[in-house]
Amino acid sequence: MNNLKKIGLSALAGSLVAISANAAEISVSGSVELTYTDTGGTTGNEVTGNSFGSNSGLTFTGSGDVGFGTVSMTRAINDTNTGWGSAFQTLDMGDMGTLSFDSTGGALVGVTANDDLLPTAYEESWTGVSGSGIAGVGSTNVIGYSNTFAGVSISAGYTNGEGATATGESASSGAGAHGSTRDVYLSMSPIDGLTIGAGQAVNSATDTSTTSTDTVNTVAHVVYTMGPVSAGYRMGESEDGTASAASHSITAWSVAFNVNDNFAISYGEQENEQNAIGATAAVAEDVTGISAAYTMGAASVRFNHSESSNDNFVTSVDDETTEISLALSF
């Protein structure tokens, strides 16, 4: 997700409760959202039921000083989850960096946290019709580390699956199956307003003692902000080590404009070209998206419309989605 300043972010904001006991602090925040969604195109996934929806959620955060740093624990629930929607812990050690353990849903580090940093008023251009095309270490049982050295920020993650019933990021089922994913993203701001970054995630899976496959995802960003205007460019590659898979080449760009302190608009495009093993020609999925957001204190009204052609790399198949959201955070 884009971490630049933008109006109408869906992130939860504001503390509802804050108490201190034994040098520990607990806070609660929440949100309520009402949405209208309409889909179309030739994919056959048009909304046939109720286009209106709602979602509410609560986030609980506790933190405390442990002498050599600050430990924080976050748990979030919402209407769509049977358990925790996200659960993670961090240890902030100051100049020594921050360690994290993402149990589920946090997407804290590496390429997973930086797959698409293009500026947007609300959603990414591909929301509802496609994806970023880049996969990282994920957000299930991930050990992470982040720090800044000489102006260069590093964000890294690792997860591992082992054993006969391993179901980790890259493990296959069966006796002796194991695998791991390692992920790192580097970024810097050499001049005011300019941010550049690049990262790579390597998913290594070993099914037997003699068979090994690696899936490699690489992404790079350039984002420049001048006054109320932000522009960005992203490129990525996804290479699957299995003989039957495909490689992908992704390019994307977007421009966002803060009309004033309360209103922002953005437009973006993405092309994801697939080169499938055995295919006679490459197929490119093209996506466009426009977003707008208006904030009124703790409330926001947001709009997104995305369209894709050659949807899911099937020629002459189109998809589109429109979403209107009214959200309140507290």
Helices and strands in the chain, H and E counts:
1, 17
The closest alpha carbon to 222, from 269, 249, 190, 200, belongs to 190
Q: What is the number of residues in the chain? A: 330
Q: What one-character DSSP code corresponds to residue 172?
A: P
Question: Distance between CA 197 and CA 222 in Å, rounded?
Answer: 7
**Segment-wise mean pLDDT, segments of 10 residues, the chain, 330 residues:** 39 39 78 92 67 92 94 90 84 97 89 94 91 86 95 95 43 50 95 97 67 82 98 93 77 98 97 83 94 97 95 89 95
Other CB atoms within a 10 A radius of the CB of residue 297 amount to: 8
Angle at 218 between CA 316 and CA 322, to 5 degrees: 40
The structure tokens 């995305």 sit at 306
State residue 113's pLDDT score.
92
Structure-block tokens of residue 90: 């961090």
Domain map (residue ranges) of the chain: 17-329
DSSP string, 41-89: ESSS----S--EEEEEEEEEEEEEE-SSSEEEEEEEEETT-SS-SEEEE
Question: Distance between CA 96 and CA 262 in Å, rounded?
Answer: 37
Structure-block tokens of residue 20: 């201190």
Structure-block tokens of residue 327: 């959200």
Structure-block tokens of residue 104: 């589920």
Question: Distance between CA 77 and CA 57 in Å, rounded?
Answer: 6
Instruction: Judge contact between 308 and 129, C-beta under 8 A.
Output: yes
Torsion of CA 6, 11, 16, 18, to 10 degrees: -90
- What burial letters (b/e) apply to 60-99, b meaning 16+ CB within 10 Å? bbebeeeeebbebbbbbbbeeeeebbbbbbbbeeeeebbb
- What burial letters (b/e) apply to 262-296, b meaning 16+ CB within 10 Å? ebbbbbbebebbbeeeeeeeebebbbbbbbbbbbe
- What burial letters (b/e) apply to 205-234, b meaning 16+ CB within 10 Å? bbbeeeeebebebbbbbbbbbeeeebbbeb
State residue 14's pLDDT score.
40
The closest alpha carbon to 2, from 171, 116, 88, belongs to 116
Q: Which CATH architecture has domain 17-329?
A: Beta Barrel (2.40)
pTM for the full model? Answer: 0.83
Instruction: Judge contact between 186 and 199, C-beta under 8 A.
Output: yes
Helix (H, G, I), strand (E, B) or coil at 122: coil
Other CB atoms within a 10 A radius of the CB of residue 54 amount to: 10
Angle at 264 between CA 307 and CA 266, to 5 degrees: 30
